[in-house]
Amino acid sequence: METVDDTLVERPRPFARIKAGAAALARSAADLALPPQCLACETPVATQGSLCASCWSKLRLIEKPYCARLGIPFAYDIGLGALSAEAIADPPPFDRCRAVAVFDDVARKLVHGLKYRDRLELAAWMAGWMRRAGGELIAEADVIVPVPLHTRRLWWRRYNQSVLLARTVTEAAGKPLATATLKRIRATEQQVGLSHDQRDRNVRGAFQVPASGKIVVAGRRVLLVDDVYTTGATVKASTRALLRAGAVAVDVLVFARVVRGQI
Ligand SMILES: [Zn+2]
């Protein structure tokens, strides 16, 4: 199957594209002049596109053993397919979630750099690690769907960081990317600062799969891609919309996730 649809990542305001282009040019000129910098803290490093030793030591990669469902790391190996208490008490609508790192300190700097600071160069590095963390999920996916932004937010932000991550993941895997399959039909409040329940209410009914998208996901295993998993409200609402549209199953791949007790 080929790429199903591939809408523009950027929808800049007038002049924003020129400004962004000029900024990118200035950045690449600066890159030539300056020694390579750490992706997270911007201290000098030996090679372009890497982390310094200090940030590396602080980035908490999530490795096995972890909950087969939620991908939450376990302190001890309790056997293949073991589930966390959270996955048993409150089973998510998706099958499996995998994340590269715990969402704290260094991972937060990377996520926020990509999301709020126009540091698009982070996407390739972050997606490279997502391919490693989600290899099994990517291999089994029929189609890859990024979590969408509402049009209004996309307009202001100019790009959707989840699309950038999903695109890099799909290019390497040779899987179809469907960027207009899932729509955010209701503008929601920023999730930052909201409680678990408030986040759930905030995104309930916010996502929909249009008729054209149903053809893409019906009967298929979908891999949903986002930058960060905090309470999971956004990916759960997205998953429910995809399942309603006929997806047989949904897996979730993010760069970072909150691990309870470490928020
Ligand atoms: Zn650093």
* 1 has pLDDT over 50: no
Rounded mean pLDDT, 41-66: 93
Q: Could you report the per-residue pLDDT of 187-196, keeping only the tens digit for each?
A: 766 666 777 7
Cα–ligand 1 centroid distance for 134 (angstroms): 25
Cα–ligand 1 centroid distance for 167 (angstroms): 26
- pLDDT level of residue 21 (50, 70, 90 thresholds): low
Q: Are 239 and 93 a contacting pair, CB within 8 Å?
A: yes
Give this prediction's pTM.
Answer: 0.85
Rounded mean pLDDT, 35-44: 92
Residues with beta carbon < 5 A to ion ligand 1? 38, 40-41, 52, 55
Cα–ligand 1 centroid distance for 125 (angstroms): 14
Query: Which residues contact residue 225 at a Cβ distance below 8 angstroms, ignoring those fewer than 6 apart?
Result: 130, 144, 145, 146, 147, 162, 165, 166, 169, 252, 253, 254
Cα–ligand 1 centroid distance for 118 (angstroms): 18
